[in-house]
Structure 1
């Protein structure tokens, strides 16, 4: 009807694309040993939508007519499938619930505006009717930012920005582009690169997330070491509020009091609907290379990452996996043949003779972009640092493979869910001085949680974004819940998730580096930014939206919603 692409209603990505372990001979034994999940066990087929009991829409005739007048009747939908697609994001709990048909509150209508004027008309109509409006981009959020509150009795309108998908203009002298908020990552980059430009922002969700969603959740991308987080990239924007529009011009810097731009970043739809933004763009680089390195230990790898961050090199990517994630990565390789297999075998034999513990090695990827001279110089600087910390260069091959597969990880999570395994992520950021302690504390807390619920669990980690003062640690954990009931699975999941999140704040990390707050992380907000800081946020959100019409229940702890 609208031409707006959506992900599967029951999982990540598009129909027809799924993870397959059959061509990865080491993966099944690895997962069975570490997590106790048999990858060859018969999986559950995707649920049939016809078997899902979808609550009836509560949309009344008057509001339906007003919305139809605002955007055209063809762009207003009460179709059950579309409503369910817009009910949840793609977090693990979201998928457990939607696959089990747990739909306590579903949007009553999905509306697809075609421009900012239509967004204004819809928003004003929703507020006038004392209904609820939830902005929707690509639906990839994993922090509970999209789901209507279960107890919400008012009409819920999902505002899908998918038709606002164009690069409107490029200021080539300033290196800025004005882009509509509903454009998804690949479409945006295709439009920019056709004119020789790139934004360089590549979150894990890149293929299924939008510019507006990135801004609303303070997203980071894999190349943020060079291009910056979305907070750095976004220089100006337009945001619709009831009866008015916030307009922030794309200025390089201002001293105009507390930053309204910063207030909007990460606001998750609670301050209004972002319709477009001015963002920094760069010329498509002459050269682009991802090089893999290997370190003898996690401590050595972290020390190298810190030194790289303060060196004269300016890589686009600085990523390193701990020993567990490195072992998992090696297990997902396709079977090597011929020369490639012999080279890897010889390399590991040599390292073992040198005294390396092959169970402790840590795989790293560093990205370089720019002119040939710049790239060569940066590789030399990084290479020297790697060697100083006992590491070795593996080369372009593994780096190219990482670059090809970097957006595919969520499909593995869905595959595990199909066969009864639960896997999810939590990320934090902390100063370099605290990085190793918070890593050790989080791993310890996760295993204590696994023991507490009587399951075998696995946790792995990588450093994914480096800054002057610290870095992001991105943890992935998995376990077989040992129960079939979805509610019991969710309860056991939260035992582990809470242990990890509490460790973050107890050991001076943040509750989220780039996934946002939503409902999943709101419980820890006061511990993260203090009670007084939360007071400021409460005053801001309630002052802008006293009727709680704009995505209520997100960001703030439940006890601070009123």
Structure 2
């Protein structure tokens, strides 16, 4: 059997790693105040696998034989656990449904190819059999892009690219690397850094997502201010379609009509299976520094980030949290011992005496990379801008904390689910001129829906991924649903008003989580009906039989 490692079937990450609050003295009080959950009471336990009923595989003998001939007997699995792992991503709806054993349609087999030739054989066999193929990377998708359609009568095959995880070559003269699509973030970076290179792409899901998944969902990483989104990083690739392979060479720029590269980036498996890609890579920087700053309020933080984006400084990270997220971050700190804790208390007392409202302060992180002189110059520019907007420098200590915690936040969703509460995210992007309105509209809409549902809810936000014309706003919300009502129905009610507020205030339905099925209802409002017509025409021309991940990316009523 394959040696590809997978995440937990019921939650985020790997077995043995979870969020704990016992070493965070302020967290229990924060959660009780904000969402009304008493953490002194024991939480529930996730179900055991024996508690759920898995539908039997429908894999027929003929297709099964062809798949085994393509990849080997031990690389085709109908194991119930593996099939469930490949049924859902890690979105809130996914986690609620899998924990409840809600499995209306499970992949009939999981196939693990080792190279592009095997991928081609599998794709051709699946399409010839009029079956369904769903590409699978790390399984971290949170927008519903991995789940078979519930009423799909055809055989469903999950194509797991986890064995295809190597850096194949590096063009050092051009700063390009050719990498197989199934490589997870840590595996890719380890192979690159041993040779002195980095891709610089670090999404929250970095430990559990793949290059192919990043391309398929138009991913963005924490350091995108310097390295770019995956659409900037990816210069060329190979994509398997039935009977053929799309090959795009890694050119710096080209004028060859509508961009086929752009068509495939973000296509969520509907335009074929990405097997490898040429990506931009950079020499590992001489220095890396993340510095924390503090602003007196959210408006000051937004204004400073906008000014930094058009300054002569080029940070790798520009992030500022609103007051709610700042209070959350402070509540998740471990107990401070010795002088560091006393210094923190002293600083806040000084700010209070200066007239700062400590309920409104906003924490910010700015990242710098490069030579000593470059970083010194950029810190000087940024420092003056932050000072102009009333902010102060906190230093490297809190910045180091950002690096330590940046991949741990998704584990909190499982922690909340164990206690009957929902915690989820929605992110968007808008021009600088609209960000304030997007933020205000979204927070008001969420709070109004919490009140309508009669629940104690909490919503927080941070700005990240700054561009010349605007930035990303990343919202996190949490609440314990009413026990007497539909759990997912209440979640959908809150998620819907947040998503609609994005569109109504001039923002996009998603900045980097993709469309999937969760965000598809807003596609026509986002890119217009005529734009959706173009997308549907493209998908229909490439896959008339709807064999490649049908149901994702476009609204249900636009499926043919």
1:401 has 2:394 as partner: no
1:452 & 1:269 partners in 2: Cα distance?
Answer: 38
Aligned residue in 2 for 1:551:
549
Structure 2: give runs of 5+ residues left out of the alignment.
Answer: none
- What does residue range 149-548 of structure 1 map to in structure 2 within 5 Å? 149-483=149-483, 488-548=486-546
2:509 & 2:313 partners in 1: Cα distance?
Answer: 30
Aligned residue in 1 for 2:117:
117
1:464 & 1:7 partners in 2: Cα distance?
Answer: 27
1:15 has 2:15 as partner: yes
Aligned residue in 1 for 2:558:
560
1:506 & 1:158 partners in 2: Cα distance?
Answer: 37
Aligned residue in 1 for 2:77:
77
2:218 & 2:405 partners in 1: Cα distance?
Answer: 24
1:154 & 1:493 partners in 2: Cα distance?
Answer: 31
SS of 2:232's partner is: helix
1:263 & 1:511 partners in 2: Cα distance?
Answer: 18
1:297 & 1:165 partners in 2: Cα distance?
Answer: 44
SS of 1:183's partner is: coil
Contact 1:236 1:251 in 2 (8 A): yes
Deviation per residue, 1:488-514 (Å, 9 max, x gap): 110000000000000000111000000
1:108 has 2:125 as partner: no
Shift of 1:40: 2.4
2:34 & 2:391 partners in 1: Cα distance?
Answer: 26
Shift of 1:482: 2.0
Shift of 1:99: 0.3
SS of 1:439's partner is: helix
Shift of 1:525: 0.1
TM-score normalized with structure 2 length: 1.00
Structure 1: give runs of 5+ residues left out of the alignment.
Answer: none
SS of 1:300's partner is: helix
Deviation per residue, 1:102-131 (Å, 9 max, x gap): 000000000000000000000000000000
Aligned residue in 1 for 2:61:
61
SS of 2:410's partner is: helix
Shift of 1:484: 7.1
1:278 & 1:40 partners in 2: Cα distance?
Answer: 51
SS of 2:386's partner is: helix
Deviation per residue, 1:8-65 (Å, 9 max, x gap): 0000000000010001111111110111112222111121101110000000000000
1:4 has 2:4 as partner: yes
SS of 1:118's partner is: helix
Aligned residue in 1 for 2:52:
52
1:423 & 1:200 partners in 2: Cα distance?
Answer: 28
Shift of 1:452: 1.5
SS of 1:466's partner is: coil
The count of corresponding residues between Structure 1 and Structure 2 is 560
Contact 1:41 1:419 in 2 (8 A): no
Shift of 1:483: 1.7
1:318 & 1:187 partners in 2: Cα distance?
Answer: 26
2:39 & 2:203 partners in 1: Cα distance?
Answer: 28
Shift of 1:561: 0.5
1:107 & 1:366 partners in 2: Cα distance?
Answer: 43
SS of 1:369's partner is: strand
Deviation per residue, 1:246-300 (Å, 9 max, x gap): 0000000000000000000000000000000000000000000000000000000
Q: Which runs of 4+ in 1 moved over 4 A?
A: none
How has the CA–CA distance of structure 1 residues 354 and 315 changed in structure 2, closer, same or farther, with 3 Å as cutoff?
same
2:209 & 2:188 partners in 1: Cα distance?
Answer: 11
SS of 2:465's partner is: strand
1:28 & 1:68 partners in 2: Cα distance?
Answer: 52
Shift of 1:199: 0.1
The alignment's C-alpha RMSD in Å is: 0.7
TM-score normalized with structure 1 length: 0.99
1:146 & 1:452 partners in 2: Cα distance?
Answer: 32
2:45 & 2:498 partners in 1: Cα distance?
Answer: 31
Aligned residue in 2 for 1:130:
130
Shift of 1:244: 0.0
